[in-house]
Amino acid sequence: MFKPIISKAGVIITDSEGKILFVSPGVEETLQIKQNEWKGKKIGKLFGVEAQEKIKQLSMGRKKIEEGSLEWKKRNGTTFLLSLSFQAISMDKSTLKIVVIIHEITSLHNLFTELLREKNRLQAILESINEGVFTIDPYWRITSFNRAAERITGYQREEILGKKCYEVFNTPLCQTNCPLKRSLSGLFTIEGEEAEITTKNGKKIPISVSTAPLVDEEGEFIGGVEVFRDLSELKKLEEEIRERYSLGSIIGKSPQMQRVYELIHLVSQTDTHVLIEGETGTGKNLVAKTIHFLSPRKNKPFITISCAAIPEQLLESELFGHEKGAFTGATARKLGKFELAEGGTVFLDEVAELSPALQAKVLRVIEDKEFERVGGTETIKVDVRIISATNQNLKELVEKGRFREDLYYRLKVMVIHLPPLRERREDIPLLVNFFIEKFNQKFGKNIKKVSPQVMDLLLDYEWPGNVRELENAIEHAFIHCKGEIIHREHLPEELTRKKPLPIGELRKMEEEIIRKTLAETGGNKSKAAKLLGISRTTLWRKIKKMEGK
């Protein structure tokens, strides 16, 4: 499934005067500063006079959480956006601490900027995403609980202050792998860990948790703080993105795929014949199925026949059926695919492989909605929609006299072109997430992502096998991966060895190998096919393509 963009929380703790007492590793990493450089200094020197003023207002007794944002420039000159939340926490009657929660929100800001062009209401969602904060003492009793925490959980602070946190939240993590417990036992911070809590009214909601120990000026442990964010709206955004960037199992946000989605929706509500063009592995069969199951014919049969996989002498019988005794071995009447698909859809995959005789018979089905079985005289009426697909250029085949022009124009009333994966590389991360989710379910694993190095490899690879090859590569990685992240060594060797040759060069090499093998066997196609490790039908088809050039 797709992962929501979540910024990690960093925490700075100050005293009531704004003097910095603690800087979490998340802040050090995000701001590229060192704790030792700033411990003991006023926060105004770090973030400016406005930050110091917020500390002052909170120290004077204001109950409202102070929030703001600012731009931060790293040492390398790059600038990014920060969000700051200031929360006053009373440790006892005489001690006041200020917790400053820091998020680097550039990526989140960019995501919402993109989506706002489509839906104005996303600004309201952005404004509603606030962090809940609570603190505990060394005995796990809740000592503070902010307004966002009240809103997220449904509990009022008055009813839970003094109670132990695990009695309130009662999540599976509380008893097994509590982030706050781990954080306090090792005196380290935990940032951006996902969990689930049950609200006061019994509703389960997803949250992101960041935790840190609390220490006083002398470095003594005095409790802990947990920052949690309601991910419910982000999960909804994730579903919105999934709906926009997918149609069934067809995944893609590229302009080419958005156009494909548009054409699928348009043509599915008609009975128009459709020609799907695209290289092997681009998903032509998925598009055909999607058109059928979105159409008024969805409750009728969807029947696929691969015109390249069945020998020519049997293909006619497969398409149109035969009568008993029509040929040797025809011991009973057999219904063909067109007859079985009555009222539904016939998908002719690799339609360019139809012989001229069969092309004429398919044309008759389109024009007259009728045919005869092999060996029969009865004319059979049929109501089917034909969706065809090819990885060849049918127009060129027409010009060479290898495909009927009248059938070509009947089939291509509507053409949907599926781009190769190398021309829509921006879809690769979406497809990777989709396949990770798919294979997690299949293999019962919990793999979360691919490493950055692996993603770079996937984006650079030429993908001669397109989406099908990518799916196979991820499945291969799942078999070898024992952890939560797919690394380079888990990928198939051909992805990590070197970039493949361009498709045109691969075809030239294949043709040269076929010619040499035929020469070695004296033109004996059966022997040549055996040496090449392919069927005689496949070899015959490849020779036809070579001769047609």
* Residue 267 in domain: yes
Q: What is the CATH number of the domain that holds 313?
A: 3.40.50.300
Instruction: Please report the pLDDT score of residue 109 as a whole number.
Output: 61
Question: How long is the chain?
Answer: 549
Same domain, 256 and 343: yes
* Residue 199 in domain: yes
Instruction: Please report the pLDDT score of residue 479 as a whole number.
Output: 94
* Residue 240 in domain: no
Tens digit of pLDDT at every position of the chain (549 positions):
333 334 456 788 888 888 988 888 877 777 777 777 888 888 888 888 888 888 888 887 755 566 666 777 766 677 777 778 888 877 666 677 888 888 777 766 665 556 545 444 433 433 344 678 888 888 888 888 888 888 888 899 888 888 888 877 777 667 677 888 877 777 677 777 777 888 888 888 888 888 888 877 677 778 888 888 887 765 665 555 455 555 667 888 888 888 998 899 899 889 999 999 999 999 999 899 989 988 999 889 999 999 988 887 789 899 999 998 888 888 898 998 999 999 999 999 999 999 999 999 999 999 999 999 998 889 999 999 999 999 999 999 999 999 999 999 999 999 999 999 999 988 898 899 889 988 998 899 989 899 988 988 998 899 999 999 999 999 999 999 998 899 999 999 888 875 545 656 667 777 888 888 888 788 888 778 777 767 677 788 788 778 765
Q: Do 179 and 190 meet the contact criterion of CB atoms below 8 Å apart?
A: yes
Q: Which amino acid does the sequence have at 308?
A: A
Taking the C-alpha atoms of residue 100 and residue 26, their distance in angstroms, rounded to an integer, is 12
C-alpha triplet 479, 482, 484: angle, nearest 5°? 110
Taking the C-alpha atoms of residue 138 and residue 213, their distance in angstroms, rounded to an integer, is 10
Instruction: Please report the pLDDT score of residue 15 as a whole number.
Output: 86
Against a cut of 0.85, is the pTM above it? no
Instruction: Please report the pLDDT score of residue 345 as a whole number.
Output: 95
Same domain, 230 and 350: no
* Residue 45 in domain: yes
Taking the C-alpha atoms of residue 280 and residue 547, their distance in angstroms, rounded to an integer, is 21
Q: What is the CATH number of the domain that holds 456?
A: 1.10.8.60
* Residue 1 in domain: no
Q: Of 342, 301, 334, 302, which is closest to residue 318 (Cα–Cα)?
A: 334
* Residue 186 in domain: yes
H or E, element range at 18: none
- Cα Rg of the chain, angstroms: 32
Q: Of 435, 427, 414, which is closest to residue 265 (Cα–Cα)?
A: 414
Q: What is the CATH number of the domain that holds 179?
A: 3.30.450.20
Same domain, 405 and 264: yes
* Residue 527 in domain: yes
- Write out the two tokens for 119: 């839906």
**Strands 302-306 and 449-450, bridge-based pairing:** unpaired
Taking the C-alpha atoms of residue 478 and residue 87, their distance in angstroms, rounded to an integer, is 44
Of 417, 442, 471, the last residue of a domain is 417
Q: Do 55 and 98 meet the contact criterion of CB atoms below 8 Å apart?
A: yes
Which tens digit of pLDDT belongs to each residue from 21-61? 888 887 777 777 777 788 888 888 888 888 888 888 888 77
Same domain, 452 and 483: yes
Same domain, 227 and 270: no
**Strands 79-90 and 66-73, bridge-based pairing:** antiparallel
Of 417, 445, 462, the last residue of a domain is 417
Instruction: Please report the pLDDT score of residue 325 as a whole number.
Output: 85
Same domain, 124 and 15: yes
Same domain, 403 and 457: no
Q: Is 28 helix (H, G, I), strand (E, B) or coil?
A: helix
Q: Do 200 and 147 meet the contact criterion of CB atoms below 8 Å apart?
A: no
Supply the range of the domain harboring residue 463: 425-497
Taking the C-alpha atoms of residue 537 and residue 142, their distance in angstroms, rounded to an integer, is 75
Sign of CA dihedral 492, 496, 497, 499: positive
Domain total for the chain? 4
Same domain, 191 and 278: no
Of 235, 254, 288, the last residue of a domain is 235
Same domain, 46 and 182: yes
Phi (first) and psi of residue 50, to 5 degrees: -65, -40
Sign of CA dihedral 452, 455, 459, 464: positive
Calculate the CA 384 to chain-centre distance. Answer: 34
Contacts of range 541-547, beta carbons closer than 8 Å, 24 or more positions apart: 541/308, 541/353, 542/510, 542/511, 542/514, 543/514, 545/392, 546/511, 546/514
Q: Which amino acid does the sequence have at 5?
A: I
**H-type helices in 369-492, by residue range?**
394-399, 405-411, 428-443, 452-460, 466-480
Q: Do 190 and 182 meet the contact criterion of CB atoms below 8 Å apart?
A: yes
- Show Cβ contacts of residue 394 under 8 Å, excluding neighbours closer than 6 positions: 275, 277, 351, 352, 403, 408, 411, 412
Same domain, 185 and 306: no
Which tens digit of pLDDT belongs to each residue from 175-213? 677 888 877 777 677 777 777 888 888 888 888 888 888
Same domain, 280 and 395: yes
Same domain, 14 and 97: yes
* Residue 332 in domain: yes
Taking the C-alpha atoms of residue 397 and residue 355, their distance in angstroms, rounded to an integer, is 12
**Extended strands (E) in 141-265:** 142-145, 190-198, 204-215, 221-230, 246-247, 250-251
As separate numbers, helices (DSSP H) first and strands (DSSP E) second, the chain gives 26, 21
Instruction: Please report the pLDDT score of residue 320 as a whole number.
Output: 92
Taking the C-alpha atoms of residue 11 and residue 27, their distance in angstroms, rounded to an integer, is 6
